[in-house]
A = this chain, B = another copy of it.
């Protein structure tokens, strides 16, 4: 691959040059490139699948575990989904040029604050070839050049997919899409390209996050883990509480907006827990809890929780259950142990809802709904590149707008400062 052969610095320099032109590329040019890419992905499915089969074969003999192998593996259905995802991004409005504010200043200056691309965005991700295309489509649509840095496990799949997107993007500047390979050293090199790389988005686990924190000097937007809670207040509709808690845990336990902890007000613990915990057991959920939760569990199997359980993102069929005496205690628990992702309260009272949504420090706070809704598609933002749990720039789903910055454009008639 010519792409992979270029050094990190050269690749980033080419991306920076491309980004200057991409910033002023028309929506039509960007959409045309993405539409062509979607067609090419479907038309050349056989080629993609062949490359992917080699990756999967090698990863399997290399001992990659079955969950990761599943994420790495493509099939016709997944390829169709990838192409459909690109078409959805084509259909979204272009955020570039959007006017955020406009006003005439007392001295007559016409001030406009407009959305502009960030510049060069580097995306670092695991062995999920679909991310190659998703990330490229989102960054190109928002007018950014992209430097992709995938996993070596997916090297062949990524090369074909990135190559396809690049070929489709002939109407966009050379250097708009590049793919890097290499190890930890190249990762560190990429994360220190000050002045060339404007943003790094890691899509991976806590290990990748820690590695980047150590070395990065360019801005990084962490799409981080979710240790999410469902708190059932004393006045909750208990049928609803059970339904929501069950959904938040069981519907798709491997994702960041799934709940890991159930907190129940002491006044309703004995009434709610026996049925709900038995249902969770029935769905294969391993439960641990504090003493009061275990006492109120009825016939359900609930082991003793350790101190670490409250801080653990299980990403699987396990849940920790605690009993609290008050709303305040619940809020304090969530703020101490949560990762600032998605938190829910079940309550019949507007007052309790306001106190919870005001007091809990998280990207998304739900009243009488499952934490599972934190998602760019659900929120009506279209596709997303991840969920930010940090507070600066983007908090929650990272969609097209979150891949832009702003610029003040100020027009005058010769005004000077007095």
Contact, CB under 8 Å: B365 / A410: yes
* Across-interface contacts of A391 in B (CB, < 8 A): 118-119, 198-199, 219, 405
How distant is the Cα of A24 from the Cα of B359 in the complex, in angstroms? Answer: 7
Does A152 sit within 8 A of B, measured CB to CB? Answer: no
* Across-interface contacts of A247 in B (CB, < 8 A): 416-417
A358-382 Cβ-contact flags toward B at 8 Å (1 or 0):
1101111111111011100011100
Contact, CB under 8 Å: A369 / B109: yes
Which of A335, A358, A390 has its CB near the most chain B CB atoms (within 10 A)?
Answer: A358
* Across-interface contacts of A390 in B (CB, < 8 A): 219
Q: A118-B391, A396-B408, A408-B379 are in contact. Are A414 and B362 (CB under 8 A)?
A: no
* Across-interface contacts of A411 in B (CB, < 8 A): 353, 366-369
Among B243, B378, B379, B395, point to the contact of A406 (Cβ < 8 A).
B395
- A86 CB to nearest B CB, Å: 23
* Across-interface contacts of A300 in B (CB, < 8 A): none
Contact, CB under 8 Å: A407 / B199: no
Does A61 sit within 8 A of B, measured CB to CB? Answer: no
Does A103 sit within 8 A of B, measured CB to CB? Answer: yes
How distant is the Cα of A23 from the Cα of B331 in the complex, in angstroms? Answer: 13
- Tell me which residues from 18 to 73 in chain A have a Cβ below 8 Å from any Cβ of chain B: 20, 23-24
Contact, CB under 8 Å: A412 / B365: no
| Chain A, interface SS category | mixed
Does A312 sit within 8 A of B, measured CB to CB? Answer: no
Contact, CB under 8 Å: B366 / A412: yes
Contact, CB under 8 Å: B395 / A405: yes
- A404 CB to nearest B CB, Å: 9
Does A244 sit within 8 A of B, measured CB to CB? Answer: yes
* Across-interface contacts of A246 in B (CB, < 8 A): 416
How distant is the Cα of A395 from the Cα of B115 in the complex, in angstroms? Answer: 11
Q: Which residue of B lies closest to A365 (CB)?
A: B409
Q: A372-B416, A408-B364, A412-B369 are in contact. Are A392 and B393 (CB under 8 A)?
A: yes
- A210 CB to nearest B CB, Å: 10
- A244 CB to nearest B CB, Å: 6
Which of A247, A251, A415 has its CB near the most chain B CB atoms (within 10 A)?
Answer: A415
Contact, CB under 8 Å: A408 / B365: yes
Contact, CB under 8 Å: A24 / B358: yes
Contact, CB under 8 Å: A372 / B407: no
Does A240 sit within 8 A of B, measured CB to CB? Answer: yes
- Tell me which residues from 214 to 243 in chain A have a Cβ below 8 Å from any Cβ of chain B: 217, 219, 221, 237, 240, 243
How distant is the Cα of A412 from the Cα of B367 in the complex, in angstroms? Answer: 6
Does A213 sit within 8 A of B, measured CB to CB? Answer: yes
Does A111 sit within 8 A of B, measured CB to CB? Answer: yes
- A190 CB to nearest B CB, Å: 17
Does A413 sit within 8 A of B, measured CB to CB? Answer: yes
How distant is the Cα of A410 from the Cα of B111 in the complex, in angstroms? Answer: 34
- A247 CB to nearest B CB, Å: 4
How distant is the Cα of A219 from the Cα of B340 in the complex, in angstroms? Answer: 15
Contact, CB under 8 Å: B393 / A109: no
* Across-interface contacts of A1 in B (CB, < 8 A): none
Q: Which residue of B lies closest to A21 (CB)?
A: B359
Q: A391-B199, A392-B405, A407-B362 are in contact. Are A416 and B244 (CB under 8 A)?
A: yes
The 6 A-B residue pairs whose C-beta atoms are closest, nearest first, are: A369-B412, A247-B416, A372-B417, A240-B414, A391-B405, A392-B393
Q: Can you list 18 A-B contacts with CB-CB less than 8 angstroms, sorted by A residue number?
A: A23-B358, A24-B359, A105-B373, A105-B378, A109-B369, A113-B396, A118-B391, A118-B392, A246-B416, A247-B417, A251-B416, A357-B409, A364-B410, A370-B416, A374-B408, A395-B406, A395-B408, A396-B408
